[in-house]
Amino acid sequence: MGTLDEITRREIGQHLVLGFQGHEISDDVKSLISKYYVGNIILMKRNVRDAEQTRQLIKALQLLARQAGHERPLLIGIDQENGLVSAFSSPSAGTQFPGAMAQAAIDDIGTARLIASSCGEELKAVGINWTYGPVADVNINPLNPVIGVRSFGSDPKLVGEYATASGQSFVSSGVASCAKHFPGHGDTHVDSHLALPVINKTKQELSSGDLPPFQAVIAAGIPSIMTAHIALPLLTGDKTPASLSRAITTDLLRKELGYDGLIVTDCLEMDAISAVEKGGCGIEEGAVRAIIAGADIAMICHTYRRQVGALEQICAAVQNERISLAELKRSGERIAAMKDKFVGDWDSIFDGQRELDFTGSWKLLKERNLRLSLEAYRRSTTVVMDTGSLLPLRLSQNKEIVLLTPLRVQINKAVDGDDENTQPVRNTASPYDKQFVKILEGHGIVDHIVYGPDDSPSLKNEGINAVIFVTRNAFRAQWQWSVLKKALGGIGENVPVIVIASCDPYDFRLIDDSLPKDKMVFMSTHEFTAEAFAGAGTLIFG
């Protein structure tokens, strides 16, 4: 790291949050914490096996930092928005709670508060002290490929109220919340994981739609805000991403909106920044530009070589005064303040009593939160149309249910992460649809059909008691709706058809007069988790 003195190198290490591979301490993360003095770690799904393993991993990370002479413990962050982006949720780890749009569908802000505080209690129990949520984006564009149901909705006022409630409730449980993705990723048609979205909005347009939720959370004292990799040329004069733009990060967020909390970038390994061939500046240069722009912490989630390269380039930028050391130290004071509030000192990290109490208290916490989750999912499932008053279904004892689900495809990298098994494969069901089959098997004999864009499902008229047709973002992939209409032609007149929008509810904008609505039910689960499908099953069968 050049010829900088150790104090300066330790300061630089505080300004990145980095990820690593595996369920245990790796050589890479040892090097990052001990050699490069990195002060913040992000955990991903790949790091979480169960609650006890996660707790022991974090304890080991903190011990490593203390042994390396860190003045303060590590910030340990995670993407725990709830819903489809829940890095800590699994049967053996944290509780799966409904995501933002599902929470808003319950129409009870008290439940949203309870979900965030209950989730925060689980995170805090294992040592996670920073969550990258709530999503404060207003989902203005129904064709948005990356936000969708991760947003509380399309109304700026409602989004602001729910984001504020969620952010405050995480804080009440001792976890720092982080509103994202400033100044608003909700009106894009490009996924910043894949390319740089360019939003041609004026300042007035931004102020009337995207900014109000961020203004609300700022007024409520949100501890941190994440900047987005989106370009706003009508504000900045060029296509510099907001995360690397001083006009957005400092002039707009800090000065104009008066935000004095911690600013962190979205992951710099997203193609909007990392892909030089697509116009990006590259990860290492991106880290330098983000800090110059006014970010307190730059995020790099995956690649050790790139993480070290970014650290080296930041050091070089400090040496040649491209980065102001005085400004970096002022920024470091914000990081230290958040650590003092949400992490505490070394004694609070290594509290022996918490060690003794963990197993029993975790079991009770999970049992309580499971009850909350099940009830919330039941209430979040929305019947959009039931013209024929078909629900709950009254079917014979040995009923046959035909379930049609779309072939597995990638939703987006925020949801799917680095899962390579998301390319369309003919007749291949997704794991979440297989879970729905198991839920339905409690109500009858299930014939599961996986449909693709060129399919015309042939359904026998005799013996079918009900058809359940699942769509997944059909408003963006309208071939699903075409398959539904083809399938309806082979279904008997008296067979009820339940159409479930298992992600964006915008699918139901495709309902038209050609559909036999009196024998159809349209319902939305807002997500395709097993818990959301269980909620649908409860409404369908009573």
- Contact between 273 and 286 under an 8 Å Cβ cutoff? The reply is yes
524: which residues sit within 8 A by CB, 6+ positions away? 105, 381, 382, 384, 500, 501, 505, 507, 508
In whole angstroms, what is the distance from residue 179 CA to residue 48 CA? 23
Order the strands of the 400-406 sheet from edge to edge: 382-385, 520-524, 497-501, 466-471, 400-406, 445-451
Residues 6+ apart with CB under 8 A from 3: 319
Q: How far is CA 80 from CA 95, 183, 185, in A?
A: 11, 20, 18
Length of the chain: 542
DSSP-assigned states of every residue in 88-120: TBSTTSB-----HHHHHHHT-HHHHHHHHHHHH
- Rounded to whole angstroms, the Cα distance separating 86 from 6 reads 37
Instruction: For 344-357, give the DSSP string.
Output: --HHHHT-HHHHHH
Quote the CA–CA distance of 524 and 491 in Å, as a whole number.
22
Q: Phi and psi dihedrals of 446, rounded to 5?
A: -110, 125
Structure tokens at 293: 């722009």
In the three-class reduction of DSSP (H, G, I as helix; E, B as strand; rest coil), residue 179 is classed as strand
Catalytic-role residue among 193, 229, 302, 526:
193
Residue tagged active-site, from 191, 210, 266, 455: 266
Confirm whether 302 is a catalytic residue: no
Distances (CA, A) of 325 to 14, 70, 227, 322, 332: 13, 19, 22, 9, 10
| Closest C-alpha among 159, 172, 186 to residue 131 | 172
Active site residue 193: yes
How far apart CA 390 and CA 394 sit, in angstroms, is: 8
Q: Which residues are catalytic?
A: 193, 266
